[in-house]
Amino acid sequence: MMFSMFVLWFLVFVGIFMRRTWVPTLAIAAMVWTLVLLVLHMSDPIPLNF
Amino acid sequence: MNIINNAERVFVSRETQAARIINVLALFALIGVLAGSLHLQLGVGEQPCPLCLIQRSAMIGLAIGPVMNLLWGMKPAHYALSILAAMVGGAGSTRQILLHIADPNDPGYGPAVLGYHLYTWAFITFAVAIVGCAFMLLWNKPFEAQDTGLRFQRSWFRIAALTGIIWVFLDLLVIGISVLPECGLGMCPDDPENITGAGDVGGWLVVLSIGLLAFAIAVAIVSDRKVLKPRTQST
């Protein structure tokens, strides 16, 4: 799962080197996927009364 | 060397050149942060936690803005991508900071560098990046110059910029590939076991060798006449 995040960034870099117009879209998708993985790893609740 | 010295000179406005220098400096600052984390992983043997990998991913995303500015030309949209990546990374680092300060007896994850843990430094980096991008967006002149990037220029500055860009790309490859033995294709363990690293000096040598490889590739690209055909005259 975590590996896929870096595969997306790899594709973004390849797109930049090749000057592809889909780069910003894929970059945003990579960020959203990073956020999804962050939420999936939020297994412990953080008490807000510390 | 003559190929580089005899390069066709494309006129670039002073503002665009200043913006390029700032972007290259930002890129090398990011490389410094990534180098620190890679040294900790490959040298000390401290495996990155899932939240650490999230922040590394956002660091790579943060680099996208300067890389696109340098290769494609200055555009507000490129800074916007960096701001979005910094927000994602900020969320990850905030989560990790809160996790460790919630318990007063928690010593934090990993060693501290200059008094702060790496996730705190990551949060500072993301915050500074957002402020930096905002200031760059306030500066209209580089955008008005219709910059097409330094892809078709030959100069020592171009070598420096390409070295930074390729260095980030190589860091991405190293980080991505090193995830596989730690996590496989599934979710990463919350508290991964440490591995035997290359040692303190060995770790820095690995980081430095990545930079030297990036420099060598940059010189090879700039020196290759087939790759470099002056395409357009920018303003």
Given this model, what pLDDT does residue A45 score? 73
Report yes or no: A1 at the B interface, CB cutoff 8 Å. yes
Percentage of residues of chain B with pLDDT beyond 90: 39
Model confidence at B233, pLDDT cuts 50, 70, 90, reads very low
Residue A46: which residues within 8 A CB-CB, separation 6 or more?
Answer: B95, B98, B99, B102
- Contact B75/B68 with Cβ under 8 angstroms? yes
Q: Taking 60 as the threshold, does the pLDDT of residue A2 lie above it?
A: yes
Length of chain A: 50
Q: What is the 3-state secondary structure (H, E, C) of chain B?
A: CHHHHCCCCCCCCHHHHHHHHHHHHHHHHHHHHHHHHHHHHHHHCCCCCHHHHHHHHHHHHHHHHHHHHHHHCCCHHHHHHHHHHHHHHHHHHHHHHHHHHHCCCCCCCCCEECCEEHHHHHHHHHHHHHHHHHHHHHCCHHHHCCCCCCCCCCCHHHHHHHHHHHHHHHHHHHHHHHHHHHHCCCCCCCCCCCCCCCCHHHHHHHHHHHHHHHHHHHHHHHHCCCCCCCCCCCC
- Point out the residue among B54, B81, B98 whose CB comes nearest to the CB of A24: B81
Q: pLDDT band at A11, cuts 50/70/90?
A: very high
Q: Does A17 touch chain B (CB under 8 A)?
A: yes
What 8-state DSSP symbol labels residue A27? Answer: H
Q: Do B95 and A42 touch (CB under 8 A)?
A: yes
Q: How far is A3 from chain B (nearest CA, A)?
A: 6
- Are the beta carbons of B61 and A27 separated by less than 8 Å? yes
Candidate from B98, B188, B190 with C-beta closest to A46? B98
Least confident of B105-114, B124-133, B221-230: B221-230
Q: Are A27 and B82 in contact (CB under 8 A)?
A: no
pLDDT in tens, B43-73: 888 888 889 999 999 999 999 999 999 999 9
Residue range B123-148: mean pLDDT, rounded: 90
Position B151 scores a pLDDT of 63
Looking at residue B227, its pLDDT comes to 54
**Which residues 167-206 of chain B have a CB within 8 Å of chain A?**
169, 172-173, 175-176, 179-180, 183-188, 190
**Residue B217's pLDDT is what?**
87
The rounded distance, in Å, linking the Cα atoms of B148 and B37 is: 33
- What confidence category does residue A30 fall into, taking pLDDT thresholds of 50, 70 and 90? very high
**Residue B52 near residue B111 (C-beta atoms within 8 A):** no
Q: What is the pTM of this model?
A: 0.86
A1 and B187 in contact by Cβ < 8 A? yes
ipTM, two decimals, is: 0.90
**A46 pLDDT exceeds 80?**
no
Structure token pair of residue B5: 């010295």
The pLDDT of residue B158? 87
Q: What tokens appear for B221 in the block?
A: 């690209």
From chain B, pick out residues whose CB is under 8 angstroms from the CB of A23.
68
Average pLDDT value for residue range B211-217? 88
Distance CA B103, CA A50 (A): 8
Looking at chain B, which residue has its C-alpha nearest residue A28? B81
pLDDT at A7: 95
Higher local confidence (pLDDT), B89 or B146: B89
Quick check: A6 and B57 CB within 8 A?
yes
> Which token pair is B27?
């890129």
Among B53, B101, B152, the residue to mutate for chain A (most A Cβ within 10 A)? B53
Which residues make Cβ contacts (< 8 Å) with residue B234, sequence separation at least 6? B10, B11, B12, B145, B146, B147, B148
- Give residue B36's pLDDT: 87
Nearest CA in chain B to A37: B54
What lies within 8 Å, CB to CB, of B27 at 6+ separation is B63, B66, B67, B70, B161, B164, B165, B168
Pairwise CB contact (< 8 Å): B102 & A2: no
Closest CA to B202 of B42, B48, B16: B42
Which one of B61, B91, B190 has the shortest CB-CB distance to A9?
A: B61
User: How close is the nearest chain A Cα to the Cα of B224, in Å?
Assistant: 16
Residue % of chain A over a pLDDT of 70: 90
Q: Please name which of B162, B172, B140 lies closest in space to residue B67, comparing C-alpha atoms.
A: B162
